[in-house]
Structure formats: structure tokens, C-alpha cells
Amino acid sequence: MSELPRGATIRKDAGLYGYERALRRHGIDPIAGVDEAGRGACAGPLVAGAAILPPGKAGIVPGLADSKLLTERARERCYDQIVRRALSWSVVVISHEECDRLGMHVANVEALRRAVALLDLPPSYVLTDGFPVDGLGVPGLAVWKGDRVAACISAASVLAKVTRDRIMGELDARWPEYDFKTHKGYITDAHTAALAEHGPSPIHRMRFVNVRRAAGLEAGIESAP
């Protein structure tokens, strides 16, 4: 399903919680949001988060927004609030090996499915960021730039990004020459230079062309963003 229930509408000025309010007016609850972090990185895991926020004031997370628009400190504050307020939440980590084995799109869809499946409160409806995800077992809606316009997706994006950033900080301690704590495995000039000097680390994704090139292998299957 990729549309709202018949009769449900979202006003442009509905704010971050408008989708959830519109669905609840039609008797649809609980509502989960799901999102990922790390799909475009060429090193480290892919992480997906899912969250169900309660209705009303209890579900309003101070400062909540798309995780990419928040500072690290603001994300950490939101993370603590989400964990405290959510009726249910989950995080799934897909290793770099599984990303290579499945391919990034398949790994991404699988991560989102697993995150929803791990919720201990089964949702009646799922909001996803950008594209529809089948196999969730319940109706859902793909929301364009959903992590900026739907609170439960924003919450899921914060869960995923904070978890992944923490993991990349731990991996930086093992392979400090790549400076994972700064770029989190995404392609930057510094990361490219480290790859050229040191070659790929054990946590780089070998499907990415730049990683395979740094390893002296033929062109890979997927291009780096």
C-alpha cells in the first residue's frame, strides 16, 4: 500500500506529527516509523531503526527532526527522549559482510523489515522514508523526505544514526588510520586519501567501486555515492 486511507488528508502546515494524527483520526493505531543509516557509506554496518510514539503530548519529542539536520549533541538528547517515550522501538545492525552478500538495496529492505518485526508492539500501519517496503505484514505509506515530515520516521532515523555513529566510533579505535569517528564511513577527501594510502580495512564494503579500486581489484558492482 502506498497511499493514505480513503478520506485522510495531510495539511501542508500539519507539522511533524500530522501523519500520525491523520491516521489516528481514522482509527489506525499504533503507527510505526522506520528508517536506516549508513546505506551510502562504503565502510561499516547498515543500521535500521523503528519507533512507535504514543499519541498526544507524551509522544512529542523536544527538538525532534531529521537526524541529518541535528547536531551530534541534539541527536543524543533526542535519542534519550525517544527511548524514554516510545511505546516500542528497535534497532537492527546489518554487517558489512551481509551488505556485500545481499547488495545494498536488498540489505536495506531487509534491515527495515527486521526492525519492524522486532517491535514488541505490533504496528497497525508503517510509515517509511522515501520508498515503499513490502513484506511488513501491515499497510504502510512511503513518505517523501519522511524523516523531515513524519515524527515516527524522524525518531527511527535518530535511533539508527546514533546507534551507527556509536559503532563507527568504536571501529575508529581499532582502525584509527581511517578516521571513522569523523566521516562515519562515508566518502570524504580524507577517507579517500586514507583508502589510497592504506587500502581497504576489514570493515570496508567490497561492492563499492572506490573500495575495490583501492584494493587493486577490478571495478565493482556498486558505485560510491
Along the 225 residues of the chain, how does pLDDT read in single tens digits?
Answer: 456 666 566 666 558 999 999 999 899 999 999 999 999 999 999 999 999 999 999 999 999 988 888 999 999 999 999 999 999 999 999 999 999 999 999 999 999 999 999 999 999 999 999 889 999 999 999 998 888 999 999 999 999 999 999 999 999 999 999 999 999 999 999 999 999 999 999 999 999 999 999 999 865 455 554
- Residue 140, H or E segment: strand 140-143
Residue 15 has a pLDDT of 85
Residue where the block lists cell 532515523: 157
Cis peptide before 202 (omega within 30 of 0): no
Give me the helix-helix angle, 151-174 and 18-25, nearest 10°.
130
pLDDT of residue 217: 86
**What is the DSSP secondary structure assignment for residue 127, as one 8-state letter?**
E
Q: Which residues of 123-162 are buried (b: 16+ CB within 10 A; e: fewer)?
A: bebbbbbeeebeebeebbbbbeebbbbbbbbbbbbbbbbb
Instruction: State residue 220's pLDDT score.
Output: 45
For the entire predicted model, the pTM comes to 0.92
Q: What is the pLDDT at residue 3?
A: 60
Q: What is the pLDDT of residue 68?
A: 86
